[in-house]
Structure 1
Amino acid sequence: MTIQVDEDRQEPWTVLRISGELDLVTSPLIRRRLHDAVAGGRHDVVLDLSAVRFCDSSGVGVLVAARRLMRSCGGRLRLILPARGAEDGAHVNRVLAALGVRRLFEVYADVPAALDDTAAPLSA
């Protein structure tokens, strides 16, 4: 499998740091980790995608489904996406923007900003 997920809890947030490729093969793992978090009562999740090198349509589908899941349970979902210049991570930002779904997400430059409820998300 070409993906790694590290979990870090910084109450009330659960941070999932994802690195590798988010594709048809690896998307079910991310979906399962998100469902496990919600089942465990953790409804505020940050997905750090800054080390994701590749994302296909199934990866985008997981992100959109994650947004729906978090909204359905009254939770919050925030994404970490480098805007440009970064070798990793910027790919996901470009894919989401190209598909017109980037605006659906609260996006932050880094984990500390995402955890700070006074920080504004980056504009689309």
Structure 2
Amino acid sequence: MTLAVDEARRGVWTVLRISGELDLVTSPEVRRQVHAAVAAGRRDVVLDLSDVLFCDSSGIGVLIAARRLLHSCGGRLRLVLPASGAAEGSHMNRVFGALGVRRLFEVYENAGAATGDGPERLTA
């Protein structure tokens, strides 16, 4: 499977919805999209990982690099990970749990919550 990244705007937020496999081959595309948003002056980014079916360490590395980039320019990065019971999000939740990186990110259950249009942040 390949990777698709769809961009949308929700208020001040740029939402990048990532679908497919986030791995060594596809992760540079996510990096490129995040850098393009920052280069265009957008500092508030949501990465919606709801439809990511597989993620390896390269994918996690891109997420951490995106966090670092946005932090360095005074921006904000939020991730969308469905609740652990959701079939679509279970892989990403397992990866984040196994690597202990969830605490590094602001995590929300859906894009509405991440952009301020829904319930508050999920707890780690």
Contact 1:53 1:87 in 2 (8 A): no
Q: Which amino acid is the alignment partner of residue 71 of structure 1?
A: H
Please report how far the alpha carbon of residue 119 of structure 1 lies from its aligned counterpart in structure 2 after TM superposition. Answer: 4.7
Contact 1:82 1:89 in 2 (8 A): yes
What is aligned with 1:78?
78
What is aligned with 1:106?
106
- Partners of 2:46 and 2:2 in 1: how far apart? 21
TM-score between both structures, scaled by the size of structure 1: 0.94
Contact 2:112 2:118 in 1 (8 A): no
- Partners of 2:13 and 2:109 in 1: how far apart? 16
RMSD: 1.5
Please report how far the alpha carbon of residue 16 of structure 1 lies from its aligned counterpart in structure 2 after TM superposition. Answer: 0.4
Q: Map 1:43-54 onto structure 2 (within 5 A).
A: 43-54=43-54
1:21 has 2:30 as partner: no
Q: Which amino acid is the alignment partner of residue 92 of structure 1?
A: M
Partner deviation per Cα, 1:46-77 (whole Å, 9 max, x = no partner) = 01100000000000000011100110010000
Contact 1:18 1:48 in 2 (8 A): yes
1:6 has 2:6 as partner: yes
Contact 2:27 2:58 in 1 (8 A): yes
Contact 1:50 1:90 in 2 (8 A): no
What is aligned with 1:66?
66
Partner deviation per Cα, 1:69-121 (whole Å, 9 max, x = no partner) = 11001000000001222222221121112111110100001111111188531
SS in 1 for 2:67: helix
What is aligned with 2:94?
94
Q: How many residues were matched structurally?
A: 124
Q: Which runs of 5+ in 1 are unaligned?
A: none
Identity between Structure 1 and Structure 2 (%): 69
